[in-house]
Amino acid sequence: MNAHTPFAKARRRELALLAMAVIGIVTCVFAMPSARADGLEEIRKFSVLKVAVPQDFPPFGTVDADLLLQGYDIDMARLIADGLGVKVELVPVTSANRIPFLIARKVHLVVSSLGRTSDREQVIDFSIAYAPFFNGVFGPAGQKVNTVQDLAGKTIGVTRGAVEDLEITRIAPSTTTIKRFEDNSGTLLAFISGQVELIATGNIVAAAILAKNPPIRPEVKFLIRSSPCHVGLNKGEMRLLDAVNAIITRARADGSLNAIARKWLGAELPKDL
């Protein structure tokens, strides 16, 4: 990854903020061990759940023509609030400030396409997964591709320099033809126009294709790398964590979570989520 890309810069900012948060937590633990209120108790007392959500990362969170928040994470935040029997207050955040907002107790939860990493686990806790976030190989229904070995003799499109490019180059059989395009738009156009049989991309990119109802619709064939989304909570909020996990578990069982996935990702939830 280029160290000067916006993603890399945002990642460095997040790591710096995480380090500061760790220091803050240690200080609070020793200085004010009894000052923290129970999160679930506070939510129920005021009948409001404050949730950090994205506003510039479709299809997980964006604003519509009326400047109202919409997306997978927005629906998820509302589902959790409904499960707790309270109103929801949506707090727009960026990737860099979503965890600091949680640590500072400006919000009770982070529902913002948050992946679980060892760095973050030092600072916050995570619920069970509620949404898929992965890189994979996609193709039309007629393509019988289930494993990387099935790429032999196939033509696959990738975005030059992306994670998918690096992984497919590393694992694909030698008879695979890899066509590289300069951006996601070029890769998607190549797939829709039939220049390539398959594409390797992220599920949110594939969802963007599906939203346009193209004549050739991509279906996931197999995963390259998975980093599902979790709800973020402050450390020690075990009652709130148990409640959130119970809501997600019920939503999986009754189909409501799958409905959110179909609505925003255009696909069923993976069975192993």
Residue 140: pLDDT band (50, 70, 90) is: very high
In the block, residue with structure tokens 């996609």:
138
Average pLDDT over residues 3-23: 51
Q: Give the whole-angstrom CA distance, residue 72 versus residue 35.
A: 34
The first and second tokens of residue 43, run together, are 């939510």
State percent of the chain over pLDDT 90: 68
Residue 36: pLDDT band (50, 70, 90) is: low
Q: Residue 11: its pLDDT value, please?
A: 52
Instruction: For residue range 183-205, list pLDDT tens digits in order.
Output: 888 898 999 999 999 999 999 88
- The b/e string for 76-90 (b: 16+ C-beta within 10 A; e otherwise) is bbbbbbebbebebeb
> For residue 15, what are the CA distances in angstroms to 25, 60, 91, 102, 113?
15, 22, 22, 15, 17
> CB of 187 within 8 A of CB of 157?
yes
> CB of 141 within 8 A of CB of 62?
no
Backbone angles phi, psi at 186, to 5 degrees: -65, -40
Beta strand 134-139 with 69-70: parallel, antiparallel or unpaired? Answer: unpaired
Residues 6+ apart with CB under 8 A from 158: 164, 165, 168, 178, 179, 180, 181, 187, 199, 200, 201
Domains along the chain with CATH numbers:
37-132+228-265 (3.40.190.10), 134-226 (3.40.190.10)
Please tell me the pTM assigned to this model.
Answer: 0.77
Instruction: For residue range 238-268, list pLDDT tens digits in order.
Output: 999 999 999 999 999 999 999 999 999 988 8
Q: Residue 20: its pLDDT value, please?
A: 56
User: Cβ of 146: how many Cβ atoms within 10 Å?
Assistant: 10
